[in-house]
Structure 1
Amino acid sequence: MIASNRRALLEHWLTDYPGPGGPEFGWYGLDPATDQVRAAVRESSAMGADPIVSGEVAADLIAPWKLPARGRIYLREPVDLADQGFAPAPLVEATLIACVPRDPTLWNLVDLHSESRSLPTVDPLIVLWDLHRSGDADSRAAAEKVAELVIGPAR
């Protein structure tokens, strides 16, 4: 099977995928977003929460285009990041969002997509979905860079 219009197929998926779901926890930190994500990944890994990175930081690892302003990680269980220099924050003010998704399949493709990256990342389609819904400045433009990677060269 060959998709004749990969862009349309991607748009269909973005419209129909309900999202990872699950509770989200907001954290505020003063370090750059990528450093915050690295610290959160380190701490949540030590706690056995199996973190994977999404959002702007993952987009920067996949298709660098903008400086990440907010981090997003998915965890198998909630973790307390207060000892790592984070303070709990409302989601709209958070510089890092940790989510325990209802969709357990997020971990299925991590090895496939994280091999050459410094952090474990979700599938680029999930990064794209998160960027489309983040509402952060320039997230749509960053999403387009990830989409170009997913879709591949125009035919």
Structure 2
Amino acid sequence: MSHIPPALFVALAELVPELHVHCVEPWCLIGSAAARLLGAEVSVADVDVLVSRADAEMLATLWADRRDATHAPVDDGRFRSHFARFHFPGMPVEVMGGLELDQGDGWQPVSPGRLVLAGLQGMAVPVPALDDQIRIFESFGRDKDRDRATALRQLRQPSVLSIVSSS
């Protein structure tokens, strides 16, 4: 696995236990943080959390004092969710409740697919499996998402071991 940047570690150390305690329905990380937890060499500026709409509403109430009321996500009309951005130590956390994507054929829910648990200092962090993360990034269709999908695909490459013979 690639090195986890200190800012990401600090954010996850506070965030993940709270999500395990307070979310009623399944949740997971998506985006660059999830890719990094699987070992992709990508930069991480924030933590994206995919939750149900009800859990997003509950977290918004729970973390009301952390809410970044000035943040407006860049929206190209392709995404919609019950969205909020929160201040956490290390880096911001963006919660997306009931995330949907419109690729030109109407609004469709973003499904994380099969989840795997990434271990981080004894914490179990649910993230989409490798192929599901690639699918999600490709469906988003932005340049930064295509780059992240490429970084994840590189994890599929078998390591090459050079065998040296001494004669």
Give the total of aligned pairs.
Answer: 118
Please name the residue that 1:18 is paired with: none
Please name the residue that 1:96 is paired with: 93
The percentage of counterpart residues that share the same residue type is: 13
Question: What is the aligned counterpart of 2:33 among 53, 57, 62?
Answer: 57
Q: Distance in 1 between matches of 2:45 and 2:141?
A: 11
TM-score (norm 2): 0.52
Instruction: Report how far residue 74 of structure 1 moved.
Output: 1.1
Alignment check: 8 A CA contact 1:32 1:69 kept:
no
Which has more strand, going by share of residues?
2
Change in 2 beyond 3 A, CA 1:128/1:105 = closer
Pairing 1:70–2:46 present: yes
Pairing 1:143–2:118 present: no
Gaps of 5+ in 2: 1-5, 76-84, 86-91, 101-108, 159-167
Question: What is the aligned counterpart of 1:87 among 68, 85, 96?
Answer: 68
Instruction: Report how far residue 75 of structure 1 moved.
Output: 1.1
Amino acid at match of 1:42: P
Please say which structure displays the higher CA radius of gyration. Answer: 2
Alignment check: 8 A CA contact 1:39 1:84 kept:
no
Mean CA deviation greater in 65-74 or 97-106: 97-106
Pairing 1:45–2:20 present: yes
Q: Which has the higher contact order (CA 8 A, sep 6+)?
A: 1
Gaps of 5+ in 1: 1-30
Q: Distance in 2 between matches of 1:105 and 1:63?
A: 21
Amino acid at match of 1:96: V
Pairing 1:117–2:153 present: no
Q: Distance in 2 between matches of 1:66 and 1:44?
A: 24
- Please provide the CA RMSD for this pair: 3.6
Instruction: Report how far residue 146 of structure 1 moved.
Output: 0.7
Q: Distance in 2 between matches of 1:98 and 1:53?
A: 9
Alignment check: 8 A CA contact 1:37 1:73 kept:
no
Mean CA deviation greater in 63-72 or 89-98: 89-98
User: Any idea what the Cα deviations from partners look like across 1:100-129, whole Å, max 9, x if unmatched?
Assistant: 2465863x622xx22x53221122234224
Which has more helix, going by share of residues?
1
